[in-house]
Structure 1
Amino acid sequence: MKKNTTKGFFVAIDGPNGVGKTTLLEEIEKIIKSKNIQLYKTKEPTNSILGNFIREISEEINGDTLACLVSADRYEHLKNEIIPELEKGKIVITDRYVLSSLILQVIDGVKENFILNLNSQIIKPDLQLAIFADEKVIQERLDQRETLTRFEKNNQSKKEINNMKKGIEKLRKLNIEVLCINNNNDLEYNANKIADYIIENWRKK
């Protein structure tokens, strides 16, 4: 993976389905923007034709095929959204990035090394946020959803948490800074802690 050489600060936020990362990210966004700092929030799969296609077929296509499509969407994401915004000096935060591949595609039977090879030319996040919560808390949050994807069914949160821990080890070996957050409760505290950390490191860059 390549180092981010732009003047912007690149953050990825990942975690098991139902961990509350999207809600947490919304709070982080509010805090950072309230300080008149430019932030660009994005997500994977993207809202592109390819990203929307992945959402449509991910219930039926799996394994190496889906992993290849997800990584292809990631390269387009970098080219069309992430890098242009980083070049403007912004903080860019993506809801899901390579750590999610190491969580979900591994559940799908894909080898970690295959995923890392597919993503060998992506830009490393300057900061990887890994969001944890207890299995019981995650399941309670998933139970509140009207519909579930195949990854969210069958109580797979334990597998997702274990895969994330292994994925974190892989990313740290690639010299990617990982900040682990317990998101069982205290949303406001977690959001402020993360926002302050991001701003501090963005200013150092």
Structure 2
Amino acid sequence: MLEKEKLDGYFIAVDGPNGVGKSTLIEAIKNKLEVLGYAVYITREPTDTKLGNYLREFAEKHSGISLACLVAADRYEHMTNEIIPALEEGQLVISDRYILSSLILQEMDGVSATFVLTANSEIIKPDLQLAVFADERVLQKRLSERDTLTRFEKGNQSKSELDFMERGIIELRKYNIDVMNIYNNDNLEENVEKVVSYVVNNWRKV
């Protein structure tokens, strides 16, 4: 993975198992940072592009290396068309899913970490990786409240996701990526303060 050189902005990736509350956490972090004067750009993977939408459909019926390659392709487009331009403008970018999600979901599909990391070798490193955890029972309860589920959300796979996330964190730390573990059971406000304090102490205001 590449260093984020000559880009004025700050890049946070947020990953975790399905049902962990990433979207709610991201929105709360965004609101708090904007109150403090930061320009925040929220984005997600898969992207809201033709490729990203196709990927969502493809992922329901396909797995393995072909899916991992499509995920990487969407990520490169995401980086080129959204993440880097926002960083060049000095914004704080928060992405709902990034490389850690591939180390969780693609490995659950039988793809090796080596292949995933090789396919993503030209992406930029996040300044901060948030690894969001929650108790397995909390994850299953949240998923049970959803109207529709993806194949990754069906069949009580939360424990596998948590296990693969632990392994993925080890891989990311080999690249000197700063990983912050967040335990998101019922302590949203505390988690928001933790992340915002880190950003305030490690980055400048826009």
Q: TM-score normalised by the shorter chain: which range applies? A: over 0.9
Residue 198, structure 1, aligned to residue 199, structure 2: yes
Alignment pair present for 1:73 and 2:67: no
Aligned length: 205
Contact 1:107 1:159 in 2 (8 A): yes
Q: Equivalents in 2 of 1:25, 1:115: separation in Å? A: 25
AA in 1 matched with 2:3: K
- Amino acid in structure 2 at the alignment position of 1:177: D
**Do the aligned partners of 1:91 and 1:202 also contact (CA within 8 Å) in 2?**
no
Q: How far apart are the structure 1 equivalents of 2:39 and 2:200?
A: 11
Separation (CA, whole Å) in 2 of partners of 1:92 and 1:202: 12
Per-residue deviation, 1:196: 2.0
Partner of 2:14: 13
For residue 200 of structure 1, report the CA deviation from its aligned partner. 2.2
101-110 vs 185-194, which deviates more? 185-194
Secondary structure of 1:80's counterpart equals helix
Q: SS in structure 1 opposite 2:195? A: helix
Q: Does the residue aligned with 1:18 lie in a helix, a strand or coil?
A: coil
For 2:167, the equivalent position in structure 1 comes to 166
Counterparts of 1:199 and 1:141 in 2: how far apart (Å)? Answer: 31
Where do 1:116-155 residues align within 5 Å? 116-155=117-156
User: TM-score scaled to structure 2, two decimals?
Assistant: 0.97
Percent identity over the alignment is: 57
Separation in structure 1 between the aligned mates of residue 198 and residue 41 of structure 2, nearest angstrom: 17
Structure 2 residues without counterparts, runs of 5 or longer: none
Unpaired runs of 5+ in structure 1?
A: none
Once superposed, which parts of structure 1, at least 4 consecutive aligned residues long, lie more than 3 Å away?
none
In the alignment, which residue of structure 2 is the partner of 1:57? 58
Partner Cα distance (2:78, 2:202) in 1 = 23
